[in-house]
A and B are shown apart, each in its own frame.
Chain A
Amino acid sequence: MLIDWFTVGAQMLNFLILVWLLKHFLYKPILNAIDSRERRIAAELADADAKRAEAQKERDEFQRKNKEFDEQRAALLGKATEEAKAERERLIEDARKQADALRLSQDNALQNDRKRLGGELTRLAADEVFSIVRKALADLANVSLEERLGEVFTRRLREMDGNAKETLAAALRASAEPALVRSTFELPPGQRAAIQNALNETFSSEVRIRFEASPDAVCGIELTANGQKLAWSIADYLRKLEQDVGALLEAQPAPAAKAAPKPDDGTTLPPIAVVHPVAA
């Protein structure tokens, strides 16, 4: 007999015992462990999802702030650029104004220097001219400059044309004060008498005059009466000299201008004695 019924019953019992044993020692612990791990993984996944959502939120926030920062920076940069541009233009304008003012100041100073130099030159030139003329006249003609001045003046008085003569005569008559004869040098008594005579003869009357030496006022001799003036001076000569010296000064920055003056400068000067019958 292949089947032993006692064994069958025993094996059924054995099998049921084994089912119970494995249920408690194998299936339950293993399934519990798997469930626990799955719950933990699910929790971790949920946590990771939450963290990912949080990270995404923070990233969005960061990107938004970054964008705002970029916009603000661009705005500030643009504003700063505009301000810098305006400031630069203002500084350039200030510098230009200062440069203009400085140039103007330099021009004024140069002009003043030129005027001062011209005046000084005129005075020195006048002194020198008179000195030379005085010496030349004394050496060559044995006459003094003062005498020659007086002679020339009296001759010019006598040779006055009619119109000027009439005008001056009217002025002399209208003047309550004595007519003023101003000269660069102190006229000697002889010359004074000669001038007085010439006036008397020219205007056919007793002309009252007074003499005055004024070295800085005139460069020669002049008669002033009631706003009318008759003069002989070297003013034109000196003005021409001043013009030539001024032209020389303006050309001075050029290298060629630093050379010695042309030898014919003196030859182009006008005659030393010029009579100006001026009716001012």
Chain B
Amino acid sequence: MRYVDGFRLPGAAKALTQELARLGDALGPRRVKLMEVCGSHTMAIARYGLKDLLPANVRLVSGPGCPVCVTDPGYVDAALALAERGAALATFGDMLRVPGSRGSLADARAAGADVRVFYSPVQALEWAEAEPDQAWVVLAVGFETTAAPLAALALEIRRRGLGNVTLLTATKTVPPALDALVADPALAIDGFLCPAHVSAIIGARAYLPYAEEHGRACVVAGFEPLDVLYGVKGLLEQLVAGVARVDNQYERVVRWEGNPAAQRAIARVFVPVDAPWRGLGVVPASGLALGPGLADLDASVRFERPVTAGRVNPACRCGDVLKGVIEPAECRLFGAPCVPERPLGPCMVSSEGSCAAAWRYSGRGAR
């Protein structure tokens, strides 16, 4: 644990907090909004109460960075349809509560569907080998960090010649979503705290357009509390200096060019497709589908059940919450009917999403 504890030292946090206060003062009357793009940053910020440590004129807004939360209801509907046809579903645990149009995987499991939670997608292959007569569908959800191991998984299915495993893909890439966000003139975000593990794959250089073309400060930061505080400090320094560039403050994991081997594996297995994001709508070329040579591993092809866009309550304003345009409570659905137990948009699906957090801190949630 010493490799973790070093990034949680109270003394260092205090020094950084003082530095943040100084930078907050240096901003003068200006109020700034920073977006943490990645769900794991959101989790760390919540877990360590880091919002308390920011200057009053600096706000963190949670971005679209949880791949599970932005999964379209239509994807969940398709997974449930495959389960109804007898497929066993293998999934990451946090997909279980994500609502489809007619309920979640957890609801389906309670009703008898075979839904199993893995810790690593490779476990699905062990299950499939142990039950060769059972059709298995791996719910391939995730960003670049997960896309790389999913690419390896697809190649391994092929190598082992497993005929009973397919992938239902809702794999996504982060830059197209950021492209969609910065293209909106209403976007009230001054800087991006860029993802840690996603950047380990795609490299810090992936954020150059947001700094150079869109003038947003960008800092790649790690997930430990000191990493996050240090990242915010980097963003404020850029804002105080009136510059926008990409700083990589997570050099112990992230390289400027990323991980070329993982990039090659992703390119070998997947092709970009337009994909729906809960809360953002369809984002061009933001999805990863299995490439032409691997179409037989695509569950939607094998089962002839294409994934179609699901229906989200049109009044849901998660897109505006994500962009920092409105506060969660300004959404008409906030609190009724949209609550953490029955979430509609991604900001409520994630336990630490902006809406779920706002709900809890309002004192109305928690139990």
Tell whether A pairs with B: no
